[in-house]
């Protein structure tokens, strides 16, 4: 309750929601306005290619929003953080509360982006399922990196939340999130292309192809879990050693 009340009482926070809403509408409209029927390659191929690339684009939108709201979440406590540290809850509980407060809004936002653009692109059910599931597992990773590095490199003297993300820790957050998203997209690119072309040409996949595909998706899942757990633990250890 304290987190929610603090967020809406801070005009520098909730007022930017309107700006983000406008940008989302523009983002979705751009996909609706794409002249796919005039493309020189087959429309169904282009639609699903754009849908897959849109996973990366929506993820970078997610990183930008997380950099503005999630990363400064710890720094927003300012010099009153000693109250939190002296309260009868552990720092781990404190960080996980921050995590879940921002997880659900960002998950809903990113899923809306993915599903709305996929509807306008008229993609296959497979691509709709794949993109929504991929984003579902990537969002906790990005939020975990934001909370973890925000806790590891807090700026309790910042007057504006936007100042926190321009720090050294904010730069690390952006670089690590970009590497995380890029790794997931590259790991899925080959298997997704293989699955799509096999369905397009109506051919069966070999055993080795299935091993490669399942291995790639399993590796993506492991990376998403590590992107959530490791930064949170790192942030908790660094924050516990900080002298207030």
- Domain residue extents for the chain: 2-6+41-241
Residue whose C-alpha is closest to residue 223's, from 182, 191, 195: 182
The residue that leads in pLDDT, 237 or 76, is 237
The confidence score (pLDDT) of residue 38 equals: 58
Which class for 177: exposed (0-12), middle (13-18), buried (19 or more C-beta within 10 A)? buried
Residue whose C-alpha is closest to residue 224's, from 192, 195, 196, 187: 187
DSSP 39: -
Q: State the Cα–Cα distance between residues 224 and 228, nearest whole angstrom.
A: 6
Over residues 45-72, the mean pLDDT reads 85
pLDDT at 218 over 90: yes
Assign 20 a pLDDT band (cuts: 50, 70, 90): confident
The confidence score (pLDDT) of residue 104 equals: 92
Q: CB count, 10 Å around CB of 110?
A: 23
pLDDT at 207 over 90: no
Over residues 149-171, the mean pLDDT reads 82
The confidence score (pLDDT) of residue 44 equals: 65
Mean pLDDT of the chain: 84
The confidence score (pLDDT) of residue 33 equals: 73
The residue that leads in pLDDT, 146 or 202, is 146
pLDDT at 95 over 80: yes
Percent of the chain with pLDDT over 90: 37
pLDDT at 43 over 70: no
Q: State the Cα–Cα distance between residues 221 and 192, nearest whole angstrom.
A: 15
Whether 53 and 134 have beta carbons less than 8 Å apart is answered as no
Q: State the Cα–Cα distance between residues 117 and 157, nearest whole angstrom.
A: 40
Over residues 106-128, the mean pLDDT reads 87
Q: At what angle do helices 207-241 and 125-152 cross, to 10 degrees?
A: 20
Look at the pTM and tell me if it is higher than 0.85: yes
The confidence score (pLDDT) of residue 222 equals: 97
The confidence score (pLDDT) of residue 12 equals: 66
Over residues 214-226, the mean pLDDT reads 95
The residue that leads in pLDDT, 43 or 214, is 214
Rounded to 5°, angle at Cα 131 from 138 and 190: 95
pLDDT at 14 over 90: no
């Amino acid at each position: 309750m304290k987190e929610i009340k603090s967020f809406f009482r801070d005009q520098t926070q909730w007022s930017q929601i309107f700006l983000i809403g406008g940008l989302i509408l523009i983002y979705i409209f751009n996909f609706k306005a794409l002249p796919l029927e005039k493309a020189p390659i087959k429309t169904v191929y282009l639609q699903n290619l754009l849908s897959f690339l849109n996973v990366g684009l929506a993820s970078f939108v997610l990183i930008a929003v997380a950099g503005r709201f999630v990363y400064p979440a710890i720094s927003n406590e300012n010099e009153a953080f000693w109250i939190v540290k002296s309260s009868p809850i552990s720092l781990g509980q404190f960080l996980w509360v921050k995590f879940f407060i921002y997880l659900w809004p960002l998950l809903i936002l990113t899923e809306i982006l993915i599903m709305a653009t996929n509807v306008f692109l008229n993609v296959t059910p497979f691509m709709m399922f794949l993109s929504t599931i991929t984003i579902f597992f990537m969002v906790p990773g990005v939020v975990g990196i934001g909370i973890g590095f925000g806790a590891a490199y807090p700026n309790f003297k910042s007057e504006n939340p936007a100042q926190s993300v321009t720090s050294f820790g904010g730069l690390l957050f952006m670089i690590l999130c970009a590497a995380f998203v890029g790794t997931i997209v590259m790991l899925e690119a080959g298997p997704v292309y293989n699955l799509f072309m096999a369905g397009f040409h109506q051919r069966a996949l070999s055993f080795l192809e299935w091993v490669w595909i399942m291995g790639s998706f399993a590796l993506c899942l492991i990376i998403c879990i590590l992107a959530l757990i490791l930064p949170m633990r790192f942030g908790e250890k660094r924050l516990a050693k900080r002298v207030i």
